[in-house]
Amino acid sequence: MTNRRDFLALSAAALSASALPARAGTPMHVHTAPSCGCCHAWADLARVRGYAVNVSELTDPQAEKAALGVPLELASCHTVEAGGYVFEGHVPFEALEAVLRDRPAVVGLAVPGMPMGSPGMGDDPAARYDVIAFGGDAGAGRVFYRAGTPEPFAG
């Protein structure tokens, strides 16, 4: 028999679980640069959003990124594998989640370099930088998302 306290705790847990988006529990492998704090900060933000995050250190970053299809000119500090896509650098979760939801014919998204204000680099929603889709229909790269703008998704 369930008492009132157990019932309320179970109800709260069920309500919390139902409020989580479909991404909850989505496996995500984050390949980090050795000793990089912002890589781990990005991974922590992914965990907060409900992703099941596994972290490992890159041993040969250039070769490992190339093997995953990341163009050298789009490289950043960490590389993420999730849902059959590659996400390079400080990709905002809105863009990442749009790819996982809509399943475009691209290899992945990249935020070259380490823009201040991006997730893991200060987390400023007003920070402006471009997110580039690469591979597949995007070819060598095209703007997919413009962070910090009123209409972030590029046409």
Residue type, 137: D
Q: How confident is the model at residue 24 (pLDDT cuts 50, 70, 90)?
A: low
Task: Return the pLDDT at 72.
Answer: 94
Which residues lie across from 110 on neighbouring strands? 88, 132
Q: What is the DSSP letter of 24?
A: T
pLDDT in tens, 108-147: 999 999 999 999 999 999 999 999 999 999 998 999 999 9
- Per-residue pLDDT for 99 more than 50? yes
The two tokens of residue 57 are 């250190």
DSSP for residue 33 = P
First to last CA, the chain: 56
Phi first, then psi: give them for residue 142, nearest 5 degrees: -150, 155
Tell me how long the chain is: 155
Question: What are the pLDDT digits (tens) for 34-73?
Answer: 888 999 999 999 999 999 999 999 999 999 999 999 999 9
